Amino acid sequence: MAGHGANTETPQLNPVMEPLSWMLGTWLSDPPGDGTFPTMKPFQYLEEVHISHVGQPMLNFSFNAFHPDTRKPMHRECGFIRLKPDTNKVAFISAQNTGLVEVEEGEVNGQELSIASHSIARISFAKKPHVEQITRKFRLNSDGKLEQTVSMATTTQPMTQHLHITYKKVTP
């Protein structure tokens, strides 16, 4: 049973999740992310991302954004990323501090993940205009940095790019 204890602390990655192993780690925005949308003035943000696993056939994630000057917390979301076994079909389940809960689905191809919202639920007093659709793309670029691009449609705006951010890995 030697080494058994160590194994419980850092379980092995479930083989089902191997196609998304490039997302694992703690990532920090570098440079700050850019936010734009027709109904808001452009803004920048810092973000810390943790993507981990506990040996289950899913990844756990948290995205925590901060104001670049004041370091005050901004948008936060957490959830899970699942892969349908023996396929490249991915589901992304996210709860957000804006009062939004969403399920996005799509595909992983190599070191790129493209997903689009299937269902969005929101608290009754969420701010308007309401988000109606979200798409995201994650990719590991040639510099080993993680990029995320988020587009969204609201009750008043068609699908438009909203966020673009690049992260560098700070821990495995």
Q: How confident is the model at residue 3 (pLDDT cuts 50, 70, 90)?
A: very low
Would residue 112 count as lying in a domain? yes
Task: Classify residue 47: in a domain, yes or no.
Answer: yes
What's the mean pLDDT when you consider all of the chain?
Answer: 94
Pick from 132, 128, 163: which is nearest to 148 by CA? 163
1 lies in a domain? no
H or E element at residue 7: helix 4-9
Kindly state whether residue 103 falls inside one of the protein's structural domains.
yes
Domain residue limits at 110: 15-171
Specify if 6 maps to a domain: no
pLDDT tens for each residue of 97-144: 999 999 999 999 999 999 999 999 999 999 888 999 999 999 999 999
- Asked whether residue 68 is domain-assigned, the answer is yes
pLDDT greater than 60 at residue 58: yes
What is the arithmetic mean of pLDDT over 33-51?
Answer: 97
Residue type, 55: G
Has residue 7 been placed in a domain? Answer: no
CATH of residue 108's domain is 2.40.128.20
Taking 60 as the threshold, does the pLDDT of residue 42 lie above it? yes
Phi, psi at 150, each rounded to 5°:
-120, 130
- Residue 84, CA distances (Å) to 11, 13, 42, 68, 79 in order: 20, 15, 37, 37, 16
**Total of domains in the chain:** 1
In this structure, is residue 54 part of a structural domain? yes
**What global pTM score does this model have?**
0.92
